[in-house]
Amino acid sequence: MEPQPRPLRHDWPPAMRPKKKKHGPGAVRRMMSYVWQMWSNGILLQALGLPLRHLLAIYGLRLCCTGQVPWRTGLLAVALWPFSGLGVTAGAHRLWTHHSYVASSAMEALLMVMFSMADQGPIEGWALTHAMHHAASDTRFDPHDRNAGFWYAHVGWLFSAMKFRLATREYRRVVDRLSPIVKFHDSCSIWWDPLWSHGVPAALAALWGDPRGGFFVAGALRWMIVQHITFAVNSMAHGDQEEGNAYAFDQDSSGIGPKVSLLVSLLALGEGWHDYHHIFPWDYAAADAQLNLDEAAALWSSSR
């Protein structure tokens, strides 16, 4: 048998093929790893729920812009802003994180309902996150480090899968003083908070025939505004120090850190005097007496 002719090839003799580089995990695998980290950190529902609930708020804004909201519903939404906001600043912040005053059981129960209306998750998680912030303010160990940028400190940190640690002493300082009222809230906050933040406004607005506006405007839209006012404490009341700020408590401070923001103080019910607060976090008031737009301190004083 005669040998068969070798088939013609344009690349004969064959060139050496470069070795394939080993690539890291693919996009799907990286995404699954990110999702798993968020789940293990207990923030997956938060990361999914935040943008979805913003869609509800945007629909509420559309109702406002198209004139479909009765004045009573608008007034309800405005009234629930300080009601829910004080649940954050006088409750989660100054009472349950810093323990800067003692509240009666009735007052604490009221603050718990007010915080439920703000709908910002379990109180224990809120307080521990804020304690981490004070322990390492504006460093890489701060959950919402302002050095990472305005938008990261404002809202981006909520989607971070990083884990942060708190010293045992600080952890025990926060957790050991949480009352049964707080533990009740945290045990059912996943349904309890939306009930108060969206369901109750809808039920109230139903009294004048506008449950839709109550849900989407006094509920979802007001919720979103209060959320971003709270976020603004991290983004606007932290940042580069402003030279010559007459309201700054520490006139010699420089660089990125807590600072005074009059706008935040007005909207967040006293939380804008932030340089003072970081120096004296145990003070029930957020500023000295020079000019104190501090509704949370006023609430405490009036309840004595």
Average pLDDT, the chain: 86
Judged by phi (left if over 0) then psi (alpha if -120 to 50, else beta), residue 9 lies in beta
Q: Is the pLDDT of residue 52 over 60?
A: yes
- 185 in Cβ contact with 123 (< 8 Å): yes
The two structure tokens encoding residue 53: 């609930």
Q: How confident is the model at residue 283 (pLDDT cuts 50, 70, 90)?
A: confident
> Left if phi > 0, otherwise alpha if psi is -120 to 50, otherwise beta: which for 239?
left
- How far is the CA of 7 from the CAs of 2, 14, 16, in angstroms? 15, 13, 19
DSSP letters for 235-263: HTSEEEPPTT-TT-S-TT--SEEE-B-HH
Query: How many C-beta atoms surround the C-beta of residue 164 within 10 A?
Result: 16
pLDDT of residue 51: 93
Domain coordinates in residue numbering, the chain: 44-302
Indicate if the pLDDT at residue 297 is higher than 60: no
Statement: residue 293 has pLDDT above 80:
no
Least confident of 40-44, 146-150, 277-281: 40-44
Residue 43 banded pLDDT, cuts 50, 70, 90: confident
Provide mean pLDDT across the span 35-46: 78
Helix (H, G, I), strand (E, B) or coil at 231: helix
At 106, is the pLDDT very low, low, confident or very high (cuts 50, 70, 90)? Answer: very high
Q: Using CA atoms, how far apart are residues 40 and 304, in angstroms rounded to an integer? A: 42
Rounded to an integer, the average pLDDT of 61-84 is 97
* Mean pLDDT calculated for residue range 269-293: 77
Return the residue matching tokens 């059912």: 188
> How many angstroms separate the CA atoms of 144 and 136, rounded?
10
Determine which of 112-116, 201-205, 208-212, 266-270 has the lowest per-residue pLDDT on average. Answer: 266-270
Q: List the one residue out of 109, 122, 123, 117 whose CA is nearest residue 194.
A: 117
Q: How far is CA 247 from the centre of its chain?
A: 26
Distance CA 288, CA 285 (A): 7
The phi and psi torsions of 256 (rounded to 5 degrees) equal -85, 130
Q: Which residue has the higher pLDDT, 177 or 241?
A: 177
Residue 5 has pLDDT above 60, yes or no: no
Local confidence band at 244 (pLDDT 50, 70, 90 cut-offs): low
Does residue 13 have a cis bond before it (omega within 30 degrees)? yes
Q: Are the CB atoms for 149 and 139 separated by under 8 Å? A: no
Cβ neighbours of residue 149 closer than 8 Å, sequence gap 6 or more: 156
With a cut of 70, say whether residue 20 has pLDDT above it: no
Contact 296, 94 (CB under 8 A): yes
- pLDDT at residue 61, as a whole number: 97
19 pLDDT tier (thresholds 50, 70, 90) = low
Say which residue, 24 or 153, is predicted with more confidence.
Answer: 153
Do residues 156 and 147 touch, judged by C-beta distance below 8 A? Answer: no
Residue 180: its pLDDT value, please? 97
Instruction: Please name every residue paired with 149 in a beta bridge, in sequence order, or none if there are none.
Output: none
Name, in order, each residue with C-beta under 8 angstroms of 290's C-beta and a sequence gap of 6 or more.
247
Residue 6 has pLDDT above 60, yes or no: no
Q: What are phi and psi of 244, to 5 degrees?
A: 75, 15
Please give the model's pTM, rounded to 2 decimal places: 0.84
In this structure, what token pair is assigned to residue 273? Answer: 């005097």
> How far apart are the C-alpha atoms of 50 and 284, rounded to whole Å?
30
Please report which helix (H) or strand (E) contains residue 107, including its range. helix 105-118
